[in-house]
Amino acid sequence: MRSFPSGRLAAGMGLALLAACSSPSGVEGAPGTDGPATADTTYTIWDPYPQYDKTSDWVRLLEACGTQAGVTVERTGYDTGDLTNKALLAAQQGDPPDVLIVDNPVVSTLAEGGVLTTTEENKLDVSAISPNLLGAGQSGGKTYGVPIGANTLALYYNKDVLDKAEVDPASIKDWVTLTAALEKVKKSGGKGITFSAIGTEEGSFQFLPWFWGSGADLTDLDSPEGVAAITLWADWLKKGYAPDSVINNTQTTSWQEFATGEYAFAENGTWQLANARKAGFPNGVIPIPAKDGGTAPAPTGGEFVSIPVQSDTARYATSQKLVSCLTNGENSLKTATTLSYIAPTEAVQEQQIAADAGLGVWAEAVKVAKGRTGDDLGTRYPKISEPMWGAVQAALSASKPPQQAMTEAQSAANAVR
């Protein structure tokens, strides 16, 4: 996922630190065992990066991993939505790719559909990967791929606007201090905060740090904590601290508002870092604060590298080599640069921060981030997310009070389970 949900989800920043393992012995036909011999030396890889052509560093890396494994890689890039549908169809037709790279919320859908093998079956070592990132690729206690990295959300700030309002960004520790800062900005003639609350998964993605940061749980939308989160946003609009445009903003249009130089804050992702550095005003990044202090858990964006189920089990051994090559430490750092990810292992994160100190805040945010399908929600998540974003829309437009909006959202989520 690139900049996230609208069409593509946020893409993260680096690949995993994995060890290549030898093929296990066991029942014939099981993933990773010696199966029927295959003479085909062309291996297919599907990914959600259609913006990268054959001359890109990304495709060169895929081809280099193929050469290292002694095979030719045939790579195809699809848009995220198309990739999911094509992967399901290919599995039904018995012609899946050898390696599949998919947006992390999709992993549980494909896993529950019997499309993917587990990391245990293919002996892929995920022990060095941060558990909170690995959770997005887990379903029923099993792991179905290796995260190549993650991105997440934080608050960008405009130093000029904050200086005029006499606000020190370091003073923002919780919801109270953030709201007080927004009040000062408004009194000084500036604009407060912009974000995306659009009625799509993108809106849920941006709301989740506030929802989780309140202490709320996705299985209990109308808890006092959940209602507090939606009330926070609604109050900001009522008081003029956030513009009415947030109701229709995507993350891209929200960033465009921030890029005017008029706003003090913008909730956005790692993928905007390059744009921030090209902005015509001094800016920085702080974590999204939790209600009572600390960093709020934000949702993770990023992809997992998975090995689909094959009828020709002899192909698994080479697929293992390809995945291990794509996710080893050295290549993880390379891909972090190419795809703007934060790596899923602390070792590679440290290398990234050493090379670019500006990534430190993002690495800290990733450490407390959560997968949307985590907590074993799996395919239940979309059935919760849609009524949740509907509740956000209703509360921000003042068509329903926050409590009613969330109570109805919880009822809708219950009805489809």
Architecture (CATH level 2) of domain 42-151+301-367: 3-Layer(aba) Sandwich (3.40)
- Residues (pLDDT < 70) of the chain are 1-39, 417
Q: What is the pLDDT of residue 259?
A: 98
Q: What pTM was computed for the model?
A: 0.85
Q: What is the pLDDT of residue 417?
A: 64
Q: What is the pLDDT of residue 39?
A: 56
Q: What is the pLDDT of residue 183?
A: 98
Contact (Cβ atoms closer than 8 angstroms) between residue 43 and residue 74? yes
Q: Which fold has domain 153-286?
A: D-Maltodextrin-Binding Protein; domain 2 (3.40.190)
C-alpha dihedral (312, 314, 316, 322), degrees to nearest 10: -120
Contact (Cβ atoms closer than 8 angstroms) between residue 147 and residue 332? no
Q: What angle do CA 317, 343, 206 make, to 5 degrees?
A: 120
- Specify the DSSP class assigned to residue 245: G
Angle between helices 201-213 and 251-259 (to 10 degrees): 70
Rounded (to 5) percent helix, strand, coil in the chain:
45, 15, 40
CATH 3.40.190.10 positions along the chain are: 42-151+301-367, 153-286
Task: Tell me the three state secondary structure of residue 247.
Answer: helix
Contacts of 319 (CB under 8 A, 6+ apart): 43, 98, 99, 122, 307, 310
